A and B are shown apart, each in its own frame.
Chain A
């Protein structure tokens, strides 16, 4: 239903930085890789061709040039778009299941396995009574006799 930001190819040109600074480029790229593009949600801001991602990369660069730390820039993004922009969600009460859910499943699986194994061992350890022993012996003997 929701039609997303239409890419406006005509205006997509990213304004080139005045001075080329490979170190800054690298910092921008590294940070942009940890942020989710809200238009194409399975892409990072570093990879997405959406115009919003271009604008946000520009914004990251500007903030870095203003001397903000990576942490401050992440806070700036979260204040606007929520935790969802972070590819690595913060540990909060609401995200506990997200972080520890897989561990929970692993523990449940291990528990089920352990239960099955102990059950099987119980089944294997069948106590034989005197008559059972006698019967077994008789059967084994009759077996011997049948061998030609």
Chain B
């Protein structure tokens, strides 16, 4: 009887530890989900005389991808994003986070440009408003300008297929 009790406690402990191992402590749930996307009005990367704001996108379901030329896993994500942009499921806009204009532009020259427009967040203030802490990050924003999904870390074909594409489809119908 006593041994069963010890065994039961042990099994519970192992179960807790096993679940703990599968969690990623870096994926912190964003408080911005289902909240209006924070306002920004930033110069465009390619043409600094023009601005880009999240308000320009009202009435559309779109993706905001936070990237930077210095970000290693952005490079890993990039081909996936280029491919997704070609599919025209949803327009992809970029936020070039804490990056020099020349660096950002030459990065896009080299690896391809999936973004309709990239905004240049040189001092990272808009990044802070969006709670960015691990570039790349991707936000799905609905027609009313509400953030519906946040991906921390690189997008993968699986995430696009199982999460983002179905979500965009349902938001477009809604």
Contacts and interface: CB of A to CB of B under 8 A. Distances in A.
Do chains A and B stick together as partners? yes
Interface of A: 1-6, 8, 11, 38-39, 41, 51-52, 55-56, 59, 78-84
A41 B31 contact: no
B130 interface: yes
Interface string B4-34: 0000000000000000000011111111100
Given A1-B153, A2-B26, 18 more contacts: A2-B27, A2-B134, A2-B153, A3-B71, A3-B134, A4-B26, A5-B133, A5-B134, A5-B135, A11-B98, A38-B134, A41-B26, A52-B133, A79-B31, A80-B131, A81-B28, A82-B31, A83-B31
B136 to A, nearest CB: 9
15 contacts: A2-B27, A2-B73, A3-B76, A4-B26, A6-B70, A11-B98, A38-B134, A41-B25, A41-B26, A55-B124, A59-B128, A80-B32, A80-B128, A80-B131, A81-B31
Contacts of B30: 82
Main secondary structure of the interface of B (DSSP, over half): loop
Given A3-B72, A6-B71, A82 B29 contact: yes
Contacts of A4: 26, 133-134
Residue among B27, B71, B133, B154 with max Cβ neighbours from chain A (10 Å): B133
Contacts of A55: 124, 128
A5 B125 CA distance: 15
Interface of B: 24-32, 70-73, 76, 98, 124-125, 128-131, 133-135, 152-154
Contacts of B76: 3
A11 B70 CA distance: 12
A80 B31 CA distance: 6
A6 B72 contact: yes
B163 to A, nearest CB: 16
A4 B25 CA distance: 12
Nearest to B73: A3
A78 B31 contact: yes
Q: Closest 3 A-B residue pairs measured CB to CB?
A: A3-B73, A38-B133, A2-B153
A8 B70 contact: yes
Given A3-B71, A5-B135, A38-B133, A84 B24 contact: no
A39 B98 CA distance: 15
Contacts of A3: 71-73, 76, 134, 153
